[in-house]
Protein backbone atom coordinates (compact mmCIF):
# COMPACT_ATOMS: atom_id res chain seq x y z
CA UNK A 1 0.00 0.00 0.00
CA UNK A 2 1.30 3.47 -0.85
CA UNK A 3 1.58 6.45 1.44
CA UNK A 4 -1.58 7.47 3.27
CA UNK A 5 -3.00 10.86 4.10
CA UNK A 6 -2.97 11.55 7.83
CA UNK A 7 -6.22 13.04 9.18
CA UNK A 8 -4.43 15.07 11.81
CA UNK A 9 -2.18 16.63 9.20
CA UNK A 10 -5.20 17.33 7.01
CA UNK A 11 -6.86 19.15 9.92
CA UNK A 12 -3.74 21.28 10.21
CA UNK A 13 -3.85 22.03 6.49
CA UNK A 14 -7.49 23.13 6.68
CA UNK A 15 -6.71 25.26 9.75
CA UNK A 16 -4.05 27.13 7.75
CA UNK A 17 -6.71 28.10 5.23
CA UNK A 18 -9.37 28.98 7.81
CA UNK A 19 -7.09 30.90 10.19
CA UNK A 20 -5.12 32.73 7.52
CA UNK A 21 -1.59 31.43 7.96
CA UNK A 22 0.79 29.04 9.69
CA UNK A 23 1.16 31.07 12.87
CA UNK A 24 -2.55 31.57 13.43
CA UNK A 25 -3.24 27.92 12.64
CA UNK A 26 -0.66 26.92 15.24
CA UNK A 27 -2.35 29.15 17.82
CA UNK A 28 -5.83 27.85 17.00
CA UNK A 29 -4.64 24.22 17.19
CA UNK A 30 -2.67 24.95 20.36
CA UNK A 31 0.54 23.64 18.87
CA UNK A 32 3.78 25.15 17.57
CA UNK A 33 4.41 26.71 14.18
CA UNK A 34 7.25 24.21 13.46
CA UNK A 35 4.73 21.40 13.98
CA UNK A 36 2.35 23.01 11.46
CA UNK A 37 5.20 23.32 8.96
CA UNK A 38 6.18 19.69 9.55
CA UNK A 39 2.60 18.57 8.83
CA UNK A 40 2.63 20.45 5.53
CA UNK A 41 5.97 18.91 4.52
CA UNK A 42 4.64 15.44 5.34
CA UNK A 43 1.60 16.04 3.15
CA UNK A 44 3.83 17.28 0.35
CA UNK A 45 5.81 14.04 0.51
CA UNK A 46 2.60 12.01 0.27
CA UNK A 47 1.16 14.06 -2.60
CA UNK A 48 4.50 14.43 -4.34
CA UNK A 49 4.02 18.12 -5.11
CA UNK A 50 4.54 21.48 -3.37
CA UNK A 51 1.40 22.56 -1.58
CA UNK A 52 2.41 26.10 -0.57
CA UNK A 53 4.61 28.75 -2.13
CA UNK A 54 6.09 32.07 -1.10
CA UNK A 55 4.95 35.22 -2.89
CA UNK A 56 6.94 38.09 -1.44
CA UNK A 57 6.24 37.96 2.28
CA UNK A 58 3.04 35.98 1.83
CA UNK A 59 2.46 32.24 1.69
CA UNK A 60 -0.29 30.89 -0.53
CA UNK A 61 -1.52 27.50 -1.71
CA UNK A 62 -0.33 26.10 -5.02
CA UNK A 63 -2.80 24.56 -7.48
CA UNK A 64 -2.07 21.19 -5.87
CA UNK A 65 -2.59 22.76 -2.44
CA UNK A 66 -6.00 24.11 -3.40
CA UNK A 67 -6.97 20.68 -4.72
CA UNK A 68 -5.80 18.99 -1.52
CA UNK A 69 -7.70 21.55 0.58
CA UNK A 70 -10.98 20.61 -1.13
CA UNK A 71 -10.26 16.90 -0.68
CA UNK A 72 -9.23 17.42 2.93
CA UNK A 73 -12.50 19.11 3.78
CA UNK A 74 -14.47 16.26 2.20
CA UNK A 75 -12.43 13.57 3.97
CA UNK A 76 -12.68 15.26 7.35
CA UNK A 77 -16.42 15.82 6.97
CA UNK A 78 -16.91 12.13 6.09
CA UNK A 79 -14.77 11.08 9.04
CA UNK A 80 -16.65 13.30 11.50
CA UNK A 81 -20.02 12.13 10.19
CA UNK A 82 -18.96 8.50 10.59
CA UNK A 83 -17.83 9.14 14.16
CA UNK A 84 -21.18 10.79 14.84
CA UNK A 85 -23.09 7.77 13.49
CA UNK A 86 -20.98 5.50 15.68
CA UNK A 87 -21.70 7.64 18.73
CA UNK A 88 -18.00 8.30 19.23
CA UNK A 89 -17.84 11.97 18.31
CA UNK A 90 -16.33 14.47 20.71
CA UNK A 91 -18.05 17.83 21.22
CA UNK A 92 -16.15 20.64 19.54
CA UNK A 93 -14.31 22.96 21.89
CA UNK A 94 -14.96 26.70 21.90
CA UNK A 95 -12.67 28.97 23.88
CA UNK A 96 -14.47 32.18 24.85
CA UNK A 97 -12.86 35.20 26.45
CA UNK A 98 -14.73 37.74 28.57
CA UNK A 99 -13.78 40.87 30.45
CA UNK A 100 -14.48 40.74 34.16
CA UNK A 101 -14.77 44.43 35.00
CA UNK A 102 -17.48 45.23 32.44
CA UNK A 103 -19.98 42.86 34.01
CA UNK A 104 -18.55 41.79 37.34
CA UNK A 105 -21.82 41.60 39.34
CA UNK A 106 -23.62 39.73 36.56
CA UNK A 107 -20.69 37.64 35.34
CA UNK A 108 -22.19 34.32 36.51
CA UNK A 109 -25.37 35.00 34.52
CA UNK A 110 -23.31 36.17 31.53
CA UNK A 111 -21.36 32.91 31.45
CA UNK A 112 -24.59 30.93 31.84
CA UNK A 113 -26.09 32.77 28.87
CA UNK A 114 -23.06 32.02 26.70
CA UNK A 115 -23.13 28.36 27.72
CA UNK A 116 -26.81 28.16 26.80
CA UNK A 117 -26.10 29.76 23.42
CA UNK A 118 -23.47 27.17 22.49
CA UNK A 119 -24.97 23.72 23.13
CA UNK A 120 -23.11 20.67 21.89
CA UNK A 121 -19.82 22.49 22.44
CA UNK A 122 -17.22 22.06 25.16
CA UNK A 123 -16.97 25.71 26.21
CA UNK A 124 -13.83 26.93 27.97
CA UNK A 125 -13.88 30.45 29.41
CA UNK A 126 -10.96 32.80 29.86
CA UNK A 127 -11.32 36.01 31.90
CA UNK A 128 -8.82 38.76 31.20
CA UNK A 129 -8.35 42.35 30.07
CA UNK A 130 -9.73 43.59 26.75
CA UNK A 131 -6.33 44.18 25.13
CA UNK A 132 -5.12 40.69 26.01
CA UNK A 133 -8.34 39.05 24.82
CA UNK A 134 -8.35 41.02 21.55
CA UNK A 135 -4.77 39.99 20.74
CA UNK A 136 -5.53 36.34 21.54
CA UNK A 137 -8.60 36.35 19.29
CA UNK A 138 -6.69 37.91 16.40
CA UNK A 139 -3.98 35.25 16.85
CA UNK A 140 -6.62 32.54 16.83
CA UNK A 141 -6.01 31.22 20.36
CA UNK A 142 -9.53 32.35 21.34
CA UNK A 143 -12.63 31.60 19.29
CA UNK A 144 -14.57 34.61 20.57
CA UNK A 145 -14.05 37.41 23.05
CA UNK A 146 -16.28 39.99 24.70
CA UNK A 147 -14.21 43.16 25.10
CA UNK A 148 -14.58 46.85 25.79
CA UNK A 149 -14.88 49.17 22.82
CA UNK A 150 -11.92 51.19 24.09
CA UNK A 151 -9.61 48.81 22.22
CA UNK A 152 -9.02 50.46 18.85
CA UNK A 153 -8.97 48.92 15.38
CA UNK A 154 -10.07 45.40 16.27
CA UNK A 155 -13.44 45.23 14.49
CA UNK A 156 -16.13 42.92 15.80
CA UNK A 157 -19.79 43.65 16.46
CA UNK A 158 -21.24 45.89 19.18
CA UNK A 159 -23.47 43.97 21.58
CA UNK A 160 -24.14 46.55 24.28
CA UNK A 161 -22.82 49.53 26.19
CA UNK A 162 -22.00 50.36 29.78
CA UNK A 163 -22.01 53.71 31.61
CA UNK A 164 -18.67 55.06 32.77
CA UNK A 165 -18.54 56.22 36.38
CA UNK A 166 -16.03 58.11 38.50
CA UNK A 167 -15.68 56.07 41.68
CA UNK A 168 -14.12 56.73 45.09
CA UNK A 169 -14.25 55.48 48.65
CA UNK A 170 -17.11 56.90 50.75
CA UNK A 171 -16.19 60.29 52.16
CA UNK A 172 -13.28 60.80 49.79
CA UNK A 173 -12.46 64.45 49.14
CA UNK A 174 -10.21 65.97 46.49
CA UNK A 175 -6.72 67.21 47.39
CA UNK A 176 -5.92 70.83 48.11
CA UNK A 177 -5.47 73.20 45.16
CA UNK A 178 -2.10 72.64 43.48
CA UNK A 179 -1.71 69.12 44.84
CA UNK A 180 -1.85 66.21 42.37
CA UNK A 181 -5.06 64.21 42.04
CA UNK A 182 -4.45 60.49 42.78
CA UNK A 183 -5.77 58.04 40.18
CA UNK A 184 -6.11 54.25 40.30
CA UNK A 185 -5.94 52.59 36.88
CA UNK A 186 -5.23 49.45 34.94
CA UNK A 187 -1.75 48.91 33.60
CA UNK A 188 -0.98 50.09 30.09
CA UNK A 189 -2.13 49.62 27.43
CA UNK A 190 -5.50 50.86 28.66
CA UNK A 191 -7.89 53.17 26.82
CA UNK A 192 -9.81 53.92 30.03
CA UNK A 193 -6.65 55.13 31.72
CA UNK A 194 -5.91 57.52 28.87
CA UNK A 195 -9.49 58.83 28.88
CA UNK A 196 -9.43 59.44 32.64
CA UNK A 197 -6.12 61.30 32.53
CA UNK A 198 -7.24 63.48 29.61
CA UNK A 199 -10.54 64.36 31.29
CA UNK A 200 -8.90 65.32 34.58
CA UNK A 201 -6.12 67.32 32.92
CA UNK A 202 -8.74 69.30 30.96
CA UNK A 203 -10.15 70.32 34.34
CA UNK A 204 -6.74 71.63 35.36
CA UNK A 205 -5.67 68.76 37.62
CA UNK A 206 -2.16 67.39 37.79
CA UNK A 207 -2.77 63.63 37.73
CA UNK A 208 -0.63 61.19 39.69
CA UNK A 209 -1.06 57.44 39.11
CA UNK A 210 -0.89 55.97 42.60
CA UNK A 211 -1.84 52.38 41.74
CA UNK A 212 -1.65 50.24 38.60
CA UNK A 213 -3.46 46.90 38.51
CA UNK A 214 -3.78 44.12 35.97
CA UNK A 215 -7.28 43.05 37.04
CA UNK A 216 -10.47 44.54 38.39
CA UNK A 217 -10.00 43.35 41.97
CA UNK A 218 -6.80 45.34 42.23
CA UNK A 219 -8.43 48.54 40.98
CA UNK A 220 -11.41 48.17 43.30
CA UNK A 221 -9.27 47.28 46.34
CA UNK A 222 -6.97 50.26 45.86
CA UNK A 223 -9.91 52.62 45.34
CA UNK A 224 -11.67 51.36 48.46
CA UNK A 225 -8.39 51.90 50.35
CA UNK A 226 -8.52 55.60 49.39
CA UNK A 227 -5.42 55.41 47.20
CA UNK A 228 -7.21 57.40 44.52
CA UNK A 229 -10.27 57.65 42.33
CA UNK A 230 -11.03 55.41 39.36
CA UNK A 231 -12.96 55.62 36.10
CA UNK A 232 -14.72 52.33 35.41
CA UNK A 233 -17.55 50.92 33.31
CA UNK A 234 -20.08 49.24 35.56
CA UNK A 235 -22.76 46.83 34.46
CA UNK A 236 -25.30 47.70 37.11
CA UNK A 237 -24.84 50.49 39.54
CA UNK A 238 -21.95 51.37 41.84
CA UNK A 239 -19.76 48.55 43.20
CA UNK A 240 -20.13 47.79 46.89
CA UNK A 241 -17.97 49.92 49.16
CA UNK A 242 -17.63 52.79 46.69
CA UNK A 243 -19.47 56.00 45.85
CA UNK A 244 -19.98 57.71 42.51
CA UNK A 245 -18.36 61.15 42.17
CA UNK A 246 -21.07 63.24 40.54
CA UNK A 247 -19.00 66.44 40.75
CA UNK A 248 -16.73 65.22 37.96
CA UNK A 249 -17.94 65.54 34.35
CA UNK A 250 -19.81 62.53 32.92
CA UNK A 251 -17.79 60.37 30.54
CA UNK A 252 -20.69 58.81 28.66
CA UNK A 253 -20.86 55.13 27.86
CA UNK A 254 -18.42 52.55 26.56
CA UNK A 255 -19.41 49.97 23.98
CA UNK A 256 -19.00 46.23 24.35
CA UNK A 257 -17.81 44.32 21.28
CA UNK A 258 -17.81 40.66 20.35
CA UNK A 259 -14.75 39.55 18.39
CA UNK A 260 -14.36 36.24 16.57
CA UNK A 261 -11.30 34.55 15.18
CA UNK A 262 -10.90 34.10 11.46
CA UNK A 263 -12.56 30.91 10.24
CA UNK A 264 -15.14 30.60 13.05
CA UNK A 265 -18.57 29.42 11.93
CA UNK A 266 -20.48 32.67 11.24
CA UNK A 267 -23.67 31.17 12.68
CA UNK A 268 -21.97 30.81 16.08
CA UNK A 269 -20.81 34.44 16.05
CA UNK A 270 -24.20 35.76 14.92
CA UNK A 271 -26.20 33.84 17.50
CA UNK A 272 -23.79 34.66 20.34
CA UNK A 273 -24.06 38.33 19.35
CA UNK A 274 -27.86 38.21 19.45
CA UNK A 275 -27.84 36.54 22.86
CA UNK A 276 -25.39 39.08 24.28
CA UNK A 277 -27.45 42.01 22.97
CA UNK A 278 -30.53 40.60 24.72
CA UNK A 279 -28.53 40.04 27.89
CA UNK A 280 -27.09 43.54 28.18
CA UNK A 281 -30.36 45.21 27.18
CA UNK A 282 -31.93 43.54 30.23
CA UNK A 283 -29.16 44.47 32.69
CA UNK A 284 -30.39 47.17 35.12
CA UNK A 285 -27.59 49.75 34.83
CA UNK A 286 -28.95 52.20 37.36
CA UNK A 287 -28.79 50.13 40.53
CA UNK A 288 -27.03 47.25 42.19
CA UNK A 289 -27.66 43.84 40.69
CA UNK A 290 -29.81 41.53 42.79
CA UNK A 291 -30.78 37.90 42.59
CA UNK A 292 -34.38 38.75 43.48
CA UNK A 293 -35.12 40.69 40.31
CA UNK A 294 -38.59 42.16 39.87
CA UNK A 295 -40.95 39.99 37.89
CA UNK A 296 -40.45 41.83 34.58
CA UNK A 297 -36.68 41.60 34.76
CA UNK A 298 -36.83 37.99 35.92
CA UNK A 299 -38.97 37.12 32.92
CA UNK A 300 -36.49 38.79 30.57
CA UNK A 301 -33.68 36.91 32.24
CA UNK A 302 -35.51 33.61 31.77
CA UNK A 303 -36.25 34.48 28.14
CA UNK A 304 -32.67 34.97 27.10
CA UNK A 305 -31.56 31.94 29.12
CA UNK A 306 -34.21 29.84 27.37
CA UNK A 307 -33.64 30.97 23.77
CA UNK A 308 -33.47 28.19 21.21
CA UNK A 309 -29.76 27.36 20.74
CA UNK A 310 -27.96 26.97 17.45
CA UNK A 311 -26.90 23.61 16.13
CA UNK A 312 -23.37 22.54 15.34
- The pTM for the full model equals 0.60
pLDDT at 2: 61
C-alpha–C-alpha distance, residues 247 and 267, integer Å: 45
Percentage of residues in the chain having pLDDT higher than 70: 84
Please check the confidence at residue 134 and state whether its pLDDT lies above 60: yes
Q: What's the mean pLDDT in 102-106?
A: 54
pLDDT at 89: 67
Q: What pairing do the DSSP bridges indicate for beta strands 253-260 and 207-213?
A: unpaired
Q: Which carries the bigger pLDDT value, residue 190 or residue 219?
A: 219
Q: Which carries the bigger pLDDT value, residue 310 or residue 123?
A: 123
Question: Is the peptide bond prior to 189 cis by the omega test (within 30 degrees of 0)?
Answer: yes
pLDDT-derived band at 288 (thresholds 50, 70, 90) equals very low
Mean predicted lDDT score pLDDT of the chain: 80
Amino acid sequence: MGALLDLGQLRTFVAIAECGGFGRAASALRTSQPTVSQHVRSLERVVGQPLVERVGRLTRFTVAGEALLAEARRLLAAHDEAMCRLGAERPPTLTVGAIEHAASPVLPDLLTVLMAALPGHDVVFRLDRSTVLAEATLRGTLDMALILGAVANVGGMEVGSLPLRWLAAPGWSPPAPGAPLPLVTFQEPCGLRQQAVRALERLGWIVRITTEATHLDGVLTATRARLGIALLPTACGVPQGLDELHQLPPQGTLGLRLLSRQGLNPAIETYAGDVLRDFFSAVPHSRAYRADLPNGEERRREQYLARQPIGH
